[in-house]
Structures are given as structure tokens and as C-alpha cells.
Amino acid sequence: MAYVRVDQAVKFFPREDGSQMLVLNGVSFETKEHGITCLLGPSGCGKSTLLNVISGLERLDRGQIEFRVSGSNPKLENRNPKLGYVFQDPRLLNWKRVEGNLTFALKGMRIPRAEWERRLGKYLELVGLLEFRQQYPLYLSGGMRQRVGLARGLVIEPEVLLMDEPFSKLDQLTARKLREDALQICARLRQTALLVTHDVEEAAYMGERIVVFSARPAHIIEVVDNPLAPSDRNFDDLHFIQFKKKLLNTVLKLIDQEVRV
């Protein structure tokens, strides 16, 4: 498994009138290896853009993205590592059954067919959907569809899993359950993952490391490492609540300073 190093990333988007809008303004950070790194920032600051750049859907105007594996001297990973992607609204192929959506990804990533059955079983079981593998997505609830999206991201056994606000469209209870499950699954698989969110509590709960973005044009204003191990994070636990408050205060203070500067 690899980790991601983003170095001085700069990205412009053309506006309707032809002028350039600066979205990423020299973003630099490193993710954890074998853990979730949360990208926390206000809506519209460029978090999804950064994920799209990392996944290759968009190109940077300046700066670079590196995938590395740790060692005594960090060596460069191959240029095209396997990346899984979990989208905000799950972007499933509604005309394919649950397992068909997973094999679509397996086929795309050229995973040998002999592997498919084992992987389908393993990852559908992990997200708790084994008995729904023959179902069509439109017959599932929103939370279950999101689980299919998560399973599709994991089934290719990616070096880095990218998640773009995967819980933000769900109702509160479903989202909470899914966060717990996703954290547990990623911890068990020791999965390197990047999770985009604008929710401070979600970042405090999910992130080994929390990278705080400014408003657009985005740059990094703080990197916070989570003092709690994944297994010690509990929404009702005093230590967790303290950390969450501290993170919230940090973010508020930094945003405040930003505005004044």
C-alpha cells in the first residue's frame, strides 16, 4: 500500500467569461499510510477537485502528486497505482445487479477472472450485503447503495481509496452507522484512504490525520493528527468529544485568522 504526497498543487478552472478561477493555491500535504486521512474544508473550496486530480480525472496546472511507499528511504511507487473511488451519490450502474457493479470495476482494472468470486464474497460480506448480491440497486435503500459504492471501491484492492463525502447525503442515523462500519473496515484492511468531508465530527471520528483546507482558493492551514486510535473513537466517549471540540476550535480560529488576513 502507498501513501500520497501532494506538492504545491495549483489548479485553475476557466470561468464562463473566459477568465481563470484559482481553485487550488499551492496545496501541499502527505497522507498517512495504512490509515484514513481526512480533507476537511468548507464547501466549494476545491476538495473534490483535488480528489479528481489525484484520480487522474483532472490535471494540475502546477505542482505534483506522488504515490510513495515508506521504507528507510521513501521510494517512489509506480506512477499508476490502483485507486478506488467512492462517490457522494454512489454512481452505480442501476441496470446491473450489485455484483455486476463490482465486476464492472474488476473488469476495468483487469483483475483476473479467477479472482472475482473470492473478492465478491469477501467485500460484499465486509459491507454486509452478501445476501443482496443479486439485487438491483434501485431496490435498495440509500444507505445500502452507498455500501455497494464502498464495496466497489474496495473490491479492486486499491493502493489508495478515495472517498468524496460518501455519507453526506444520508440521514443522520444511517450515516453514523456507515461511518462506524467504514472506519472498522478500513482499519481491518489497513487501508490507505483519503476522505473528503466538510463535517468536523466526521473528520475527528474517521481521520488518523486531518488536513484542514482554507476557503477557495484552497491552501492547507493546519494538519492535525488524531490522538485516539480508531478503536478508541466513540461518539459518546469523553476523550473523543474533547478532541472533536479542540478540532472545531482550531478550525474556527484558523478560519477567523484567514478572514482577517
Partner 1 sequence: MSPLDSTTPAGPTRQEDVITDPSGAGSLPRPIEIGSRRGQPAAGRQALQDIALRIASIVALLFIWWLLSLIFPPTLIPKPWETFAEVGAIIGAGDLFFEMGNTLRRVGVGFGLAMAVSIPLGIFMGTMRSLESFFEPPVVLGLTMPGLIWAVLAIMFFGLTETSAYAAVAITIMPMLTISLWQGTKSIDKDLIDMSKVFHASPWSKVVDVIMPQLISHILAAIRYGLGLAWKVVVVVEMFGFSNGVGYRVVRGFNTFSMKTVLAWTITFLVVMIVIEFGMIGWLERTVTRWRPRVEAWRR
Positions in the binding site for Mg ion (CB under 5 A): 48
- Closest CB to partner 1 among 83 and 210? 83
* Contact flag: residue 219 with ligand ADP (CB under 6 A): no
Contact with partner 1 (CB under 8 A) among 50, 160, 185, 196? 185
Contact with partner 1 (CB under 8 A) among 129, 193, 196, 251? 129
CA distance 14 to 130: 45
Each residue 202-241 as x (binds partner 1 by CB under 8 A) or -, in order, gives: ----------------------------xxx---------
115: phi > 0 → left, psi -120 to 50 → alpha, else beta; which? alpha
Whether the bond between 217 and the residue before it is cis, its omega within 30 degrees of 0, is yes
Opening angle at CA 213, ends 76 and 179, nearest 5: 85
* Contact flag: residue 20 with ligand ADP (CB under 6 A): no
State in angstroms the smallest separation of the CB of 249 from partner 1.
27
- Closest CB to partner 1 among 192 and 214? 192
* Contact flag: residue 13 with ligand ADP (CB under 6 A): yes
Please spell the DSSP secondary structure of 167-228, one letter per residue. Answer: TTTS-HHHHHHHHHHHHHHHHHHT--EEEEES-HHHHHHH-SEEEEE-SSSB-EEEEEE-SS
CA distance 163 to 153: 9
Task: Give me the residues that bind partner 1 (CB under 8 A), please.
Answer: 55-57, 83, 85, 87, 89, 91, 93-97, 104-105, 107-110, 125-129, 131-132, 135-141, 143-144, 147, 152, 156, 174, 177, 180-181, 183-185, 187-188, 230-232
